Each structure stands twice: as structure tokens, then as C-alpha cells.
Structure 1
Amino acid sequence: MGVNLSEKKGQGLSPTEFVENMTRNQEQLQQWYNQFTWPDENSRTFFANCRVPGIRCVIIAADWCGDVVRNVPVVFRLMEAAGIPTEVLIMEDHLDTMDQFLTLGGRSIPVVLFLDAEGGVVGRWGPRPTYVQEPMVAFKAANPDREAPDYQDNLAVARQEIMRRYGTDTSYQRLIVEEVKDILQGI
């Protein structure tokens, strides 16, 4: 990926510090964390036995973001199971880093980065599972003009479909498990 974030080591919060310092959505994030269950025994075993020497996880996030509230608890669980050290960079405090990892031209969080021992980015996930993100990808492709009269209406429709795809239970979490597993297998 060509980006090196070695200078960011130690600048983030631990997962516990991130949760403790949340001023919004703390209870919801904790609920998604507590409701996490492994989709299958193979996934649980993979993460329990996942040992990639020197790898660490850096998550760009903010407590105001709904995707962070839903997705970061799953990533926390996966990194805990795999024993991968994890830091959270608050987006507003690290815009220089955020701007190296734009999604569809925008600042979309969370951005989950996997770094090697030298700080090189060797994997990236986020802001949503691919299936959940598809409506936004389609929206951006079909609506390049932010000033168009129907832009906001079309954006609302895309967001509504994203929420439908997330659903009301934890079934979307299996998508994150599979996608992060694929990334770690490729490192």
C-alpha cells in the first residue's frame, strides 16, 4: 500500500481508553461489543491461532460515527482473539493520517489498518462490510455532482439501504469476521 505510519506508533488510544473517553454512543458501542458471537467455530479458531509476527492494528475512528459504533466492537473482538496490539486514532486529531485513507473521495470511518513491524500498511478494512457499502458505492458513481438538486434525496435513499443491509441484529458481524480474516490470511 506504500504508506508508512511508524511515526503514529503510541499516538493512539487503547481500545479500553477509546471506549472510556467516548462522550457519545458509548452504551451502543458496548452493546454491539457484548452481543458479538463467532459466526462459526472455524473463524474463532482462525483468530485464536492467528499469529502474524510484528503486526499491529490502527483504527481511525470517532465516537459520533454510527459505522464506528457498529463495526469497531467487532474489530476489537477479533484483535483481542488474535492477540494483535490495537490503537485507535481519533479522526479529528489525525486528519493527516485520515486524508491518506479516503473512501470514495471522502473521510469515511472507521478505517482499520494493519501495519507490519516497520509501520508499513499491509492491509486495510472499512468503513463498512463490502455488502453494506455497496449502496454508497453505487450512489457515488451515479451522483458525482454534490450540488445537484436530487443529491441529498438520493443520499438519503442510499443511507436507508445501508441501514437495511446492516439489519437490526448482529448477523452483519459475520461479514466483518470474514473480510478481516481474508486480509490477515493475505499478510
Structure 2
Amino acid sequence: MTVNKPVFSYIEFYEWTLQLVNNKQTSGDKQTESLVKFTELNASRMKRLNKTTKLIPELENLVTELKKKQVWYVITEAWCGDSAQNLPVIGEIASAGDKIDLRVILRDKNPELIEKYHTNGSKSIPKLVAFSEEGVELFTWGPRPEPAQELVMDWKENPNGRDFEDFERELHTWYAKDKTHTVQKEFLDILNSLKY
């Protein structure tokens, strides 16, 4: 798979996001005030999740017992709220053992790649694409846990008077109440199902 630079580890991406915040910038092709504010909010979300995320024992055990290496690419941008809620968990999963090589890449720097991994026809992020060491695609995940995806689809089909700001509050309230349990369960199920 051809990837355009930069390529980050999770910690490098987090630290780069903090630098963007300090410089009042964001990632990606668009530099708007609202995206800069989202980036600032996301840095706070990641910081909180870096401190509070604890893997469920079944997932941690499964990751530490993986026999073969996997390379996980997460396509994202610093302004993405779903990324801030999920990437710290993905980073924690990858760091639980020594068989997952996590690489964070930017959507706008990799247009050909995101074109291959649309969600319902859109370039939604974060999008994780996992490969074997030999380059065989193992699975994809994203852009968010299934119940959160259902909230998004429901809002798009029937806003019911909710503007984007109202919906964002609803979505991030769901994340806060869920406390990363659903995303961890989804990765547990995916990794358990791999014939690899």
C-alpha cells in the first residue's frame, strides 16, 4: 500500500495535535476557525482518554497473545471528533502487545487511499484498515462504533429540528456514557473472528 507522509505513531499524532493547537491551526486542506476549535476540543478529549482508557481484560489478553504481526493504518485528521474519541482506544489496543504496528495517516494527504475506503459513499474518518505483514487486507473498521453510526444515520435521515451543534452534543454524550466499551467490544469481536 502506498502512503503519503507524514506517518505518525499514535503518540506522535497526539503530540502533533497539541502543536497544532498551540499554533492555532488544524490539519487538512481547510484551515477554518471552527476546525481549529474542533482540534482544540479534540486535544482535550484525547488527553482525557489517554489517562482514563483501560482495556477490558479479554481484549488485552487477546492482543498480547497475537501470533502474527498486523499493520493498522488509521486515516484521520486532527479536527475529527470521532477520531478523538476512538483513536486513543485504538492506540491503547495496539500498544498492549508487540504484534500491531499502528500508523496514523492524514486523509487529505492520501486522497487515493480514502477513495478506496468510503463509508456509505463518504470519506468519513477515522477509518482503520488492517493488513497482514505480507500486505493482505485483514479487516476495516470505522468511522465510529455501530451505535454511534446509527445515531449519525438517524440524524442525517431525520434531523427532527436538531442542528449540527445539537447533534454533536448528542453524539459526544453517547461517547461519554459508553466509556469506550463498545469500541473495545467491536475490536474484540473483530480480532476473535480473524482466521489469521
| TM-score category, normalised to shorter length | 0.7 to 0.9
If asked which structure has higher relative contact order (CA below 8 Å, sep 6+), I would say 1
Asked if the contact 1:139–1:155 (Cα under 8 Å) also holds between the matched residues in 2, the reply is no
> What does residue range 71-110 of structure 1 map to in structure 2 within 5 Å?
71-83=86-98, 84-110=100-126
Task: Choose the corresponding residue for 1:184, options 169, 191, 195.
Answer: 191
Segments of structure 2 that go 5 or more residues without pairing to the other structure are 22-41
Q: Give 2:47's match in structure 1, choosing from 27, 30, 34.
A: 30
Q: How does 1:115-154 map to 2 (within 5 A)?
A: 115-140=131-156, 142=157, 153=162
Q: For residues 37-56 of structure 1, what are the structure 2 equivalents within 5 Å?
A: 37-39=54-56, 41-51=57-67, 53-56=68-71
Give the letter aligned to residue 183 of structure 2: I
Contact 1:104 1:137 in 2 (8 A): no
Q: Match of 1:129, as an amino acid?
A: P
Are residue 12 (structure 1) and residue 23 (structure 2) matched?
Answer: no
Moved more, 86-95 or 129-138: 129-138
* Structure 1 Cα separation of the partners of residues 140 and 152 of structure 2: 18
1:174 aligns with 2:189: no
The aligned length equals 171
Instruction: Provide the rounded CA distance (Å) in 2 between the counterparts of 1:62 and 1:152.
Output: 29
How far residue 92 of structure 1 moved from its aligned partner, in angstroms, is: 1.2
With normalisation by structure 1, the TM-score equals 0.78
- Aligned CA RMSD, in angstroms, stands at 2.5
Change (3 A) 1:137 1:82: farther
